[in-house]
């Protein structure tokens, strides 16, 4: 999850206006393709967040909620945890997701088909938050995920395309685009130019292309290293947390066409 970047993000001097122009939509519109130009370290993370789901997730409004897990409890010292798993979830190869398929770097035991026990070496009351991190996304055989988007093309580290599934447990709540496409450009100038020319809808850049009209773009809160700038054709969730800002890596699920 990324924090707020308060640096001077735009060479044009129009940052204040752009920060006020963040688009929101109470009723996301379904359809279209999200195209993103990303740097190397964000490309793989964004792909992972698109294909794989976690036991928990941080919503765009900043709240912790269940994903592949529906609820969880811990013993008094927060060293032993129990997670109840969502039923009727399948991987993209149509095999079942259940307790036997959960993979985590902890001492894990299966209590029944939809209940796991995690025993930590030391107490950690923040474990449910930790499990929302992209690194804990669940993968089945051959790297298959359970996400609402299914892989169509992956040129590793360079080009990624995924299509939305017609049926998914998140249908109607996430995944508004018909498809998503990520491209990796190592040069920030090339990413900025691609955004300016309408070749992509969003890019992680620190400054607009000098020929771009700032009124056509919006600043999206990001982390201390990366900033995201998007076309005004992109709409963000209606409620975005201030304590824990929007997770841009989950743009595929949470954003929509304006």
Task: Give the domain range for residue 175.
Answer: 1-52+147-258
Is the same domain home to 180 and 229? Answer: yes
CA separation for the pair 181, 199 (Å, rounded)? 11
* Look-up of token digits 């018909």: 178
What's residue 244's pLDDT? 62
Is the same domain home to 21 and 83? Answer: no
Q: pLDDT digits over 128-165, tens only?
A: 999 999 899 999 988 899 999 999 999 999 999 999 99
Q: pLDDT digits over 236-257, tens only?
A: 888 887 766 678 889 999 999 9
CA separation for the pair 68, 97 (Å, rounded)? 9
Is the same domain home to 94 and 43? Answer: no
Q: Is 24's pLDDT higher than 70?
A: no
Is the same domain home to 111 and 168? Answer: no
Closest CA to 240 of 17, 19, 8, 10: 19
- Per the structure, the count of domains in the chain is 2
CA separation for the pair 14, 6 (Å, rounded)? 14
CA separation for the pair 252, 33 (Å, rounded)? 9
């Amino acid at each position: 999850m990324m924090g707020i970047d308060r640096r001077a993000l735009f060479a044009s001097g129009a940052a204040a206006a752009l920060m006020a122009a963040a688009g929101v939509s109470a009723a996301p519109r379904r359809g279209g393709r999200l195209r993103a130009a990303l740097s190397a370290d964000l490309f793989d993370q964004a792909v992972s967040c698109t294909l794989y789901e976690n036991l928990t997730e941080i919503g765009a409004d900043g709240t912790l909620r269940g994903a592949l897990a529906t609820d969880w409890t811990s013993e008094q010292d927060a060293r032993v945890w129990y997670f109840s798993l969502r039923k009727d979830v399948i991987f993209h190869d149509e095999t079942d997701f259940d307790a036997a398929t959960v993979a985590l770097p902890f001492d894990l035991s299966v209590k029944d088909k939809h209940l796991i026990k995690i025993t930590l070496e030391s107490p950690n009351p923040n474990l449910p938050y930790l499990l929302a991190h992209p690194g804990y996304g669940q993968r089945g055989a051959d790297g298959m995920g359970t996400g609402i988007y299914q892989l169509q093309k992956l040129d590793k580290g360079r080009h990624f395309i995924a299509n939305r599934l017609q049926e998914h447990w998140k249908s109607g709540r996430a995944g508004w685009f018909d498809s998503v496409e990520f491209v990796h450009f190592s040069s920030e100038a090339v990413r900025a130019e691609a955004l300016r020319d309408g070749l992509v809808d969003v890019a992680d850049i620190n400054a607009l292309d000098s020929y771009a009209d700032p009124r056509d773009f919006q600043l999206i809160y990001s982390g201390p290293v990366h900033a995201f700038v998007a076309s005004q054709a992109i709409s963000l969730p209606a409620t975005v947390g201030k304590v824990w800002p929007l997770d841009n890596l989950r743009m595929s699920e949470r954003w929509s066409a304006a």
